[in-house]
Structure 1
Amino acid sequence: MLRVERLRQRPRSFESFCGLSPSEFQELATQLEPLWERAHRRSLLREGRQRRIGAGRQFKLDVPHRLLMTLVYLRHYLPMHLLGVLFEMDTANVCRNIHALLPLLEQALPAPLRARTLNIQKKAAEGAKPVRRLRTLEDVLEAFPDLADLIVDGTEQPRGQPKGKKGDGAGKKAVGRPKDKKKFYSAKKGTHTLKTQLTVTPEGQIVHLSATAPGRLHDIKLLRQSRLLPRLPRGSRLWGDRGYTGLEKLCPQHEVIVPRKRPKGGCLSLEDRELNRQISKVRIAVENALCRVKKFRVCREFYRNDPQRHGLFWGCVTGLVNLRLASRAPQLT
């Protein structure tokens, strides 16, 4: 069985396993301990529980080992039965432990503001209230009062083909592809994908994460539905790639900077090429942030989990990336 104490004796192996150094891991485990105790106590005192407190089997793993198992899963995206072999647990027990810890892990981490749902007009007309996190972008702006530049970019992760609803057999519905197959198909990637949009500061900190969107959704439409634009301070600058061409019409109160497109049948002038190079030097921050995020294979490889948990996985991973960035940044005195 993998032991935290044994892995700490080999710091490089420790970081290779879970993506954090031993000191960063210890700090995160210390912050996670009271959150787990509070959540477990709430579960014991829930309405309808028949057993008394203290009855039943005890947990095999404590919080540090449960955190280690979850980080190994996020880092390497191993199958549950393989994690069960490494930690000497049943596959179902591994799954329960990981999914129970993920929401608490996101709370303990410096995770970015994450929109739970997209701001779709149909749902707004029905009066559906959006669910928001307690941590807001205003808190980020208070910590960074000089924040004037934000870089946005979208990325896609492959997923399986959506299946039809249960009971939609040949007798009830004509045989064919479900409507969601066209909805999630990305012509750019040539497969079915889930799209996520990140908002990053020039220093590399991830401050906003959109809700999970189908791969077919355009970048500008995703930005409009991600609830980011109303939260931005007036006069701030938005940097994007060529997929955000025309964004200045959507948000005239912000300065939008995107690379110039080559005209059809023509070529860019020397001034436009130099401008694109200067824009790329700023936009490299979001590309580096995406590279750090996708070192965790749960955000890079074929997605095997419930699509409703996709945003939670990305929230935890981006929080880990922010934690590593903050702990390893040079401290100015």
Structure 2
Amino acid sequence: MGNATRAVIIGNRRITGLPADVIAELVAEIGPLWHERRQVRLASRQRRRAVGGGAKHQLVFVDRLLATLAHLRHGATHDVLVCWFEVDRSTITRAVGEVRPLLAGRGCTISPGMRLRSPAQAVDHLSATGKTGIIDDTGIQVRRPAAGRKGTDKFITGKNKQNAVKSMVVTDEDGRVLFCSPTKPGSCADITHARQLGLAELLADGPAAEILADAGCQGLGTQTGGSVVTPPHRKFKRNTPDWYEEMYERQRKAHSSRRIRVEHTSPT
């Protein structure tokens, strides 16, 4: 990898999730540890060449660190990183395997995932932990169905008129994905999707849990005894008083700021 490409990766925080100064600290702190472990490993086995002989690394430590950070942040497969860093797949696999324990030793770890297989398990988890849940329907654009096929209109979303399918994502207040539902045709309304998943019954009769939803689920709050919290319903459609407009916008923004975490997640 050239210096220009390396500088672009380090300078773009969205790729690694870390600013350039933190990456520099990681290089200075765990770089010597990686080099020391490598020397110990080379010296611990019988060699025909002296230590330091043979082919040089195709991937320097900085690139190994960047590849590992990109893999951890985006879940990029090793095959994708191979095309990016222009090395063999075994090199990427070895680099991630060597650098990841060093990052974990410094405290840069990923918490183990939970396998919640149903909305009921997600609600039980939220109730047990006392955290607020967030739900949102996310559209996934698909190819236009073949002409003449029955039921093609049900894939067209009412919002942007695209052929899509929907999945409902349930996260906690920290943005951690707890459950992602099977897909439904794009024309399925958000509130209908939530009812078909059984969320209304779960929250009305099950454990106490607070769920934040958008305006597409207005009405679930009444059915669930207030467990589902949606943006305030606008009472005035015409000749809205200034005081009410200010209060409405303040409440709407407060609700949006609480549920923004779900917008940063992806069902994939």
TM-score of the superposed pair, with normalisation by structure 2: 0.52
- 1:266 counterpart = 2:238: yes
Aligned AA (1:224): R
- Is the 1:197–1:209 contact (alpha carbons within 8 Å) kept by the matching residues of 2? yes
The 1:289/1:248 distance shift into structure 2, 3 A limit, reads closer
Which has the bigger relative contact order, CA under 8 A and spacing at least 6? 1
CA distance in 1, matches of 2:70, 2:189: 36
The 1:194/1:231 distance shift into structure 2, 3 A limit, reads same
- Is the 1:151–1:283 contact (alpha carbons within 8 Å) kept by the matching residues of 2? no
CA distance in 2, matches of 1:199, 1:177: 36
Quote the offset at 1:258 in angstroms.
3.2
CA distance in 1, matches of 2:9, 2:66: 16
| Pairing partner for 1:138 from 91, 116, 124 | 124
- 1:224 counterpart = 2:223: no
- Is the 1:202–1:282 contact (alpha carbons within 8 Å) kept by the matching residues of 2? no
1:41-190 matches, cutoff 5 A: 84=83, 86-88=85-87, 111=113, 137-142=123-128, 144-145=129-130, 147=131, 149-162=132-145, 164=146, 176-179=147-150, 181-190=152-161
Quote the offset at 1:281 in angstroms.
0.6
The structure number with the bigger radius of gyration is 2
| Pairing partner for 1:254 from 222, 227, 238 | 227
Aligned AA (2:218): T
- Is the 1:150–1:201 contact (alpha carbons within 8 Å) kept by the matching residues of 2? yes
Query: Structure 1: any 5+ residue segments left out of the alignment?
Result: 27-63, 95-107, 116-131, 165-175, 294-298, 300-310, 314-333
> CA RMSD, aligned part only?
4.9
Quote the offset at 1:219 in angstroms.
0.6
- Is the 1:18–1:68 contact (alpha carbons within 8 Å) kept by the matching residues of 2? yes
- Is the 2:15–2:70 contact (alpha carbons within 8 Å) kept by the matching residues of 1? no
Quote the offset at 1:113 in angstroms.
6.2
CA distance in 2, matches of 1:110, 1:180: 41
- 1:211 counterpart = 2:182: yes
Quote the offset at 1:141 in angstroms.
3.9
Aligned AA (1:138): D
3-state secondary structure, aligned to 1:196? strand
Corresponding residue of 1:239: 212
Percent of aligned positions with the same letter in both sequences? Answer: 18
Quote the offset at 1:217 in angstroms.
1.1
Corresponding residue of 2:107: none
The 1:152/1:283 distance shift into structure 2, 3 A limit, reads farther
How many residues are matched? 203
Deviations 1:236-255 (A, max 9, x none): 44433322222235334736
CA distance in 1, matches of 2:67, 2:198: 34
TM-score of the superposed pair, with normalisation by structure 1: 0.44
Aligned AA (1:186): T
